[in-house]
Structure 1
């Protein structure tokens, strides 16, 4: 916006005035009056043609124009031609004040009208008012040019309406988005020309009504769809009220095309899906590598992860927590990679030394996994999956809530899978004995609600590792 000042840009600069008068004596008197009042006379013309010539050459600040002139053009025609080229304020000075003359003069939008004869004070006041009005109008026009250029340069669609919902203006982006010219949209009802719907149900949105019912002076809709004649455009909507004191007299509606944002979001989701798939495959490959050394327990980690996830679902854990348990379950025995294969597949009871070596696998697993940037505490879960809530577990004898819930879940799933599956030193014992074991250890070795959830999964949901 261009600030407007009622003062001239330079206080020492005298306003330059062109006199157009066909009577030499009157012209001389006016010139004397102007000089006495502090103005500069840049010339005197007695005909319309000469006045146009001087006006275009000198570009005066103001023209004092007699209506009756020598030649083919009168003052009104002369003023009209000058105004087509330049915006120069004109004050008519004439002895004629009939209605016909006044009507013709009004068409040229003069800045004043003085009837001969006149006093210097009247002349001065009329000139000052004309100059003041002209400066104000010039500032206003310049502001309008700035605003129009800015308005049409905005990349978002901007639509303004009055308090009745009639469109007052649209910028170029809005015209292109709606497929209609600004002239066509002017004074049309916003609700009839702009069809906004919900992006999934395509239910019509009365956004101006929603704004009117909103206590705030703004309304933000992050995801909506604009229906045009040719396509659907995903947009975000921002509506602000135009206030006159406490009364809303109109609205500014900004529609932002979020098509690219939607495409970027979809691409990002697809990329994350691919990344997670690759991540899961990598984890599975790591688990398979560790199980290759112990063919008798092949698939053990996958089955533990499967049961642990079912328990977590029964406990109504979040999707992210369930994914965490899945990854930790698949990797919970990765530390057995460091244990000799002959110990892992030994068909007889292990010696104390061999058992001590087996019991190192949670710590080895932790060392393998701790430097991997999982979004969850997978390494700690692997470290704690043989801890027991009464502190009788290993490797550090943690108890109660000091053991991560995910580790407590995997501990139960691990026992059930191990007992119900075949081992080198014994045949499979089945679900019944496995559930008897966790029920017997409920509240001492195993978390009670985890045990209850596991029993519900096996008995109520008819869970089977063969599913």
Structure 2
């Protein structure tokens, strides 16, 4: 049994509906002939389904009344009218009704329409609740999350706004994601997104270059998965800004070139003082074809005090020092000594440059 409310200004038709509803096993909880009256009564009676005539007397027609009701409460509305003109039908479609019955109404059709509207509305409410939970999950996530539908941004959290370097959601909401991907990376980006949707697979982390709303470039690692959002097939993307890592990587490459491609003595030792890396200049200076893998002490004269003291230093507090060493060819050189600590606070590598 459903609780039904009728909004109809024709008493004869209202009487027919009342009889039909009784035969169908539904309860008529109320009726009204004017839009304003219907809104006030429905807020109190909370019907399961509303049957709404489109052409009502008074200031509000049926579609206007339905739109106002939907702002006040969650209820499925079925339009009932003899008017099948295109403008009216279009207005009814835009208002997201749960049905449109053309007068004269058949009892069986009415019963089917009421059941369909009731169950479809229940499914829609469950979907809304899931999406609300999902929105809360996104909003509270400690990671930047962006949702795309048809490659347009349909939702993002506060940290997602930070990724685009803006405080205003209108700067990005509804915009094509293409606007924020570096041009030379967009083809690959688009291919990954489409492949995820078509193959129903999660998006494995990949690296790409993005743009902020101001046009500044930055690097991100993106992972994601396909989701249903606002009843549309969408993609949820989780962003991780790796610009600092990429900058550090470039700096390390520059340091590597300076250390290992330059004309300077350099050694990298492990914590047993075995050489794990050097450069061609050092090998040539020592007249050795290769020195990697050899004990450092085999390439110097004696054991300098600083090398012995390394065993007792506080790795985390070591600020680097200048040391002197005599190579096995008799040449004395001064080198900068720095240590790399392991996660446990012990020496992992020793750099002599």
The TM-score with structure 2 as length reference comes to 0.58
Assess, with a 3 A threshold, how the Cα gap between structure 1 residues 29 and 152 changes in structure 2: closer, same or farther: same
- Between the aligned partners of 1:107 and 1:229, the Cα distance in structure 2 is 33
SS of residue matched to 1:131: helix
Structure 2 unaligned spans of 5+: 247-285, 316-325, 336-353
Partner of 2:282: none
- Between the aligned partners of 1:120 and 1:85, the Cα distance in structure 2 is 29
- Between the aligned partners of 1:374 and 1:50, the Cα distance in structure 2 is 82
- Between the aligned partners of 2:163 and 2:306, the Cα distance in structure 1 is 51
Partner of 2:281: none
Number of residue pairs aligned between Structure 1 and Structure 2: 270
Structure 1 unaligned spans of 5+: 1-13, 196-203, 263-309, 332-368, 376-453
CA drift of 1:127 comes to: 0.7
Pairing partner for 1:179 from 145, 158, 165? 165
Partner of 1:94: 81
- Between the aligned partners of 1:314 and 1:43, the Cα distance in structure 2 is 95
Q: Is the 8 A contact 1:239 1:251 kept in 2?
A: no
Q: Is the 8 A contact 1:20 1:65 kept in 2?
A: yes
SS of residue matched to 1:80: helix
- Between the aligned partners of 1:75 and 1:61, the Cα distance in structure 2 is 18
| CA RMSD of superposed structures (Å) | 4.9
The TM-score with structure 1 as length reference comes to 0.45
Q: Is the 8 A contact 1:171 1:182 kept in 2?
A: no
Q: Does 1:316 align with 2:293?
A: yes
Alignment of 1:146-295 (within 5 A): 146-161=133-148, 167=153, 169-180=155-166, 181-186=168-173, 188=175, 190=177, 192-194=179-181, 206=185, 209=188, 218-220=203-205, 237-240=221-224, 242=226, 252-257=236-241
Q: Does 1:330 align with 2:198?
A: no
Assess, with a 3 A threshold, how the Cα gap between structure 1 residues 207 and 254 changes in structure 2: closer, same or farther: farther
Instruction: Select the structure that is richer in helix.
Output: 1
Pairing partner for 1:32 from 14, 19, 30? 19
- Between the aligned partners of 2:165 and 2:83, the Cα distance in structure 1 is 54
CA drift of 1:143 comes to: 2.4
Q: Is the 8 A contact 1:211 1:218 kept in 2?
A: no
- Please give the per-residue CA displacement for 1:301-342, whole angstroms capped at 9, x wherever unaligned: xxxxxxxxx9xx9463488x99xx8789637xxxxxxxxxxx
SS of residue matched to 2:42: helix
Between stretches 231-240 and 61-70, larger displacement belongs to: 231-240
CA drift of 1:40 comes to: 1.4
